[in-house]
Structure 1
Amino acid sequence: MHLPSHNRYDYDPIKGRRVYDWPDATRLAVYIAINVEHFAFGEGLGAELAPGGPQPDILNFAWRDYGNRVGIWRLLDLCDELQLPACGLINSSIYDACPSIPAAFCARGDEIVAHGRSNAERQSVLDEAEERALIDATTATIAMHEGVAPRGWLGPWIAESRSTPDLLKERGYEYLLDWCMDDQPVWLRTRSGPILSIPYPQEINDIPAIAVRRASATEFADMIRDNFAEMYDQAASGPLVMGIALHPYIVGQPYRLRALRPALKEIAKFREKIWLTRPGDINAHVRQLEPEIAP
C-alpha cells in the first residue's frame, strides 16, 4: 500500500549511517535559536497566554510584546554571561518595529535566520505566487539591513506549502529548519537541486512545551538538561544536532529565566567537548563533507 508522500527525502534510519565529526572531533552540535517575532494589533495570528476575547485582544498582544521590549534583552544578557552563541530567527518586520534587536544580534556576531515577514500570518495558505512574494520581501529586507541575504529559513508557525522548499532553493536559501524528523542534517529534494534540512526542535521548544502542554519553568529546564545528557551519550556513535528553541515572551519572563539559567550553564560547562554553534555553521560544515555522507 502506497500512501501519499512528500518525496523530499527517503527513509534512512539513523542506525547504519556513515559517521563524521563536527569541528575539533566533537560529535554533538548545540545551538540556541531565539525567535524574534512581530504581531499585528487587533488582527492576525498569535500565541495565547489565555484564551483570547474579541479583537483587539490586549492581554495576549501585550504579553507577546513583552518579549521584544524586555525578554529578548534578558536572554541576550544570559547568552553574554555564559558566552553562548545564538541565532536570531527574525520576522523581517522587526527591522521597522524594533530595529535595535537585530542590531544587538549583529553586535554579538550572531546569525540572522529568516523567519518570514511576521508571525501574524502563515505561508501555507498562500498560492505559489503569493508565497514567492513573501519570501522575496523577507529576504530583501534582511539583505538590505544586514548587507547579505540570509542562508536559512524557518517558516512562521512552521508552516509550509507543497512548494516551500522549491521556492526557498530557487531564492538562494541553503538550509531550512521546518522539518523535525531527524537528529542529523538531511538533504531534501527540490525541483532545483538539494536544500539542507537542519534539525530544529519541536520538543525542546518553549511554545509546545510551555504554551501548549503547560510545562512549568522547572520542567522545561529539566527537559533541556535530560535531552542534552541523553544526546551527549548517543553522540558517541555518530554526529547529532541539538537545538534549543526559545521565545523571549515566554522564557524571557523572570521566573522562567531563573530556571533556564542553570540548565544552560550546565551545557556551557561542556564547551570543550561539544560544538556550541549556529545553524549556518552546521550548514557550512555539512557542505564541505564528502558527497553523500549526510543522508
Structure 2
Amino acid sequence: MRLPGHGRYAHSAIPQRPDYDWPNGARLALVVCNNIEAFAYRAGLGSDSTGTPAVQNQRNYAWRDYGNRVGLWNLLDMLDELEIPCAHNVNGAVLDACPEIAPALKARGDEFVGHGRTNAERQDGMWEEDERRLIVESRDAIIRHAGAAPEGWLGPYIAQSAVTLDLLKEEGFSYVMDWPADDQPFWMATRAGPILSVPYSVELNDSPAQLARQHTGREFAQMIVDQFDEMLEQSRKRPLVCSVVLHPFIVGQPFRLRALRDALRHILSHRERLWVARPGEVARYAASLPKGVVPGSEMLP
C-alpha cells in the first residue's frame, strides 16, 4: 500500500540527529508568538467565545475586537514587565485598521510575521493565483507598516494549500511555522529551493486549548509549566524549541492574563539556562549551522 505523501521532507527521528547548542550554550529556546488578527463583521470565518461554531454576529465580532482594543495592550504591558521579546503573527488588515499597533511592536523591537490578510478567510481552498495575491498583499502591508519585509509566515488557521510553500519561497519568505512536526527546526523542499520550518505549537496554544478544549486559564498556565519543565529536562540530551502561542482576545482577558503571568514567571526563573528568542532568530541561527546538522540541510546549495 502506498499512502499519499507531501514530498516536502524526509523522515528523521530526533535521537539520531547531530547535537548542537543554541547561542550562549543554551539547550532550550523559548519562543513566544502572539497573533494579532482582523475579522469581517457578520461575514466570513471567526472564532467564538463558546468554542463551538457559531453564526458571525455582533457578539463574537466584538469579543474578538476586544483583543485589538484592550487585550493586546494588557499583553504587551505584561511582556514589558517580564522583559520577554515576542513575535507577532499579524494580519495585513489589522495594521491598516488599528494604526497604534505597528508603532508599539516596533518600539519593542518585536518581530512581524506574515499571517494573511485577515482571519475571516483561509488560503487552503484558493486557486494558486489568488493565494499568491493573498501572500503578496500580506507581505506588502507589513512592509508599509514595519519598514521591512517579514521573514516568516503562519497562515490563518495554520492552513496551507498544496503550493503554499512554493509561493512563500518565491515571494521571499525564509521560514514557516505551519508544520507542527518537530521540536527542532528542519528544512523543507519547495520548487524554488529549501525553506525552514520553525517549531510552533498547536498544543501549547491558547486558542485550541481554551476555546476548542475549554481549558481554564489556570489549566492552560499549568500546561505551559508542564511543557516547559519537561522540555528543560529533555534539552539535556538535545536542543529544543519551546513555543508558547497566544491570542490577545483570549489571554488578554484579565483573569487569563494573571494565570499566564504566573506561568511565564516560573519559566523565567530558569532564564540563565534559556535562549529567549523570536522565531526569526531561531531560523537564522539554524540556517547558519553546518550542512548535515539540521534535518533536510543536505538540500541546501
Q: TM-score range by the shorter chain?
A: over 0.9
Match of 1:49 in 2: 49
User: Cα gap change, 1:172/1:52 in structure 2, threshold over 3 Å: closer, same or farther?
Assistant: closer
Give SS of 2:14's match.
coil
Cα shift readout 1:233-277 (whole Å, capped 9, x = no counterpart):
001111101110000010111110111111001111222111001
User: Where does 1:169-188 land on structure 2 (aligned, <5 Å)?
Assistant: 169-188=169-188
Q: CA deviation at 1:213?
A: 0.3
Please say if residues 38 and 93 of structure 1, whose CA atoms lie closer than 8 Å, have aligned partners that are also in contact: yes
Match of 1:204 in 2: 204
User: Cα gap change, 1:137/1:237 in structure 2, threshold over 3 Å: closer, same or farther?
Assistant: same
User: Cα gap change, 1:96/1:16 in structure 2, threshold over 3 Å: closer, same or farther?
Assistant: same
Cα distance in 2, alignment partners of residues 255 and 114 from structure 1: 29
Cα distance in 2, alignment partners of residues 140 and 220 from structure 1: 35
Cα distance in 2, alignment partners of residues 147 and 248 from structure 1: 24
The residue identity in structure 1 corresponding to 2:209 is A
Q: CA deviation at 1:53?
A: 5.7
Residue range with higher mean Cα deviation, 44-53 or 222-231: 44-53
Give SS of 1:219's match.
helix
Q: CA deviation at 1:292?
A: 2.2
Residue range with higher mean Cα deviation, 130-139 or 44-53: 44-53
Cα distance in 1, alignment partners of residues 267 and 117 from structure 2: 32
Q: 1:78 aligned to 2:78?
A: yes
Contiguous gaps of at least 5 residues in structure 1:
none
Give SS of 1:93's match.
helix
User: Where does 1:153-192 land on structure 2 (aligned, <5 Å)?
Assistant: 153-192=153-192
Cα distance in 1, alignment partners of residues 293 and 245 from structure 2: 27
User: Cα gap change, 1:127/1:225 in structure 2, threshold over 3 Å: closer, same or farther?
Assistant: same
Match of 2:299 in 1: none
Cα shift readout 1:106-162 (whole Å, capped 9, x = no counterpart):
100011101000000000010000000110111111112222110000000011000
Which runs of 4 or more aligned residues in structure 1 lie more than 6 Å from their structure 2 counterparts after TM superposition? none
User: Cα gap change, 1:15/1:53 in structure 2, threshold over 3 Å: closer, same or farther?
Assistant: closer
User: Cα gap change, 1:53/1:205 in structure 2, threshold over 3 Å: closer, same or farther?
Assistant: closer
User: Cα gap change, 1:58/1:247 in structure 2, threshold over 3 Å: closer, same or farther?
Assistant: same
Cα shift readout 1:180-216 (whole Å, capped 9, x = no counterpart):
0100001001011100000100000001100000001
Q: 1:287 aligned to 2:287?
A: yes
Match of 1:90 in 2: 90
Match of 2:152 in 1: 152
Match of 1:252 in 2: 252
The residue identity in structure 1 corresponding to 2:100 is S
Cα distance in 2, alignment partners of residues 70 and 95 from structure 1: 15
Give SS of 1:291's match.
coil
Please say if residues 21 and 27 of structure 1, whose CA atoms lie closer than 8 Å, have aligned partners that are also in contact: yes
Q: TM-score by structure 1 length?
A: 0.98
Match of 1:9 in 2: 9
Q: TM-score by structure 2 length?
A: 0.96
The residue identity in structure 2 corresponding to 1:13 is A
Match of 2:270 in 1: 270
Please say if residues 84 and 268 of structure 1, whose CA atoms lie closer than 8 Å, have aligned partners that are also in contact: no
Please say if residues 52 and 60 of structure 1, whose CA atoms lie closer than 8 Å, have aligned partners that are also in contact: no
Please say if residues 39 and 118 of structure 1, whose CA atoms lie closer than 8 Å, have aligned partners that are also in contact: yes
Cα distance in 1, alignment partners of residues 243 and 55 from structure 2: 36
Match of 2:298 in 1: none
Give SS of 2:34's match.
strand
Please say if residues 115 and 153 of structure 2, whose CA atoms lie closer than 8 Å, have aligned partners that are also in contact: yes
Q: CA deviation at 1:52?
A: 6.3
What RMSD, in angstroms, separates the aligned Cα atoms of the two structures?
A: 1.0
Cα distance in 2, alignment partners of residues 54 and 249 from structure 1: 18
User: Where does 1:115-154 land on structure 2 (aligned, <5 Å)?
Assistant: 115-154=115-154
Identical amino acids, percent of aligned pairs: 51
> Aligned pair count?
294
Give SS of 2:244's match.
strand
Cα distance in 2, alignment partners of residues 44 and 183 from structure 1: 33
Please say if residues 117 and 138 of structure 2, whose CA atoms lie closer than 8 Å, have aligned partners that are also in contact: yes
User: Cα gap change, 1:24/1:54 in structure 2, threshold over 3 Å: closer, same or farther?
Assistant: closer
Please say if residues 92 and 118 of structure 1, whose CA atoms lie closer than 8 Å, have aligned partners that are also in contact: yes
Cα shift readout 1:44-71 (whole Å, capped 9, x = no counterpart):
100011356655x111111100010000
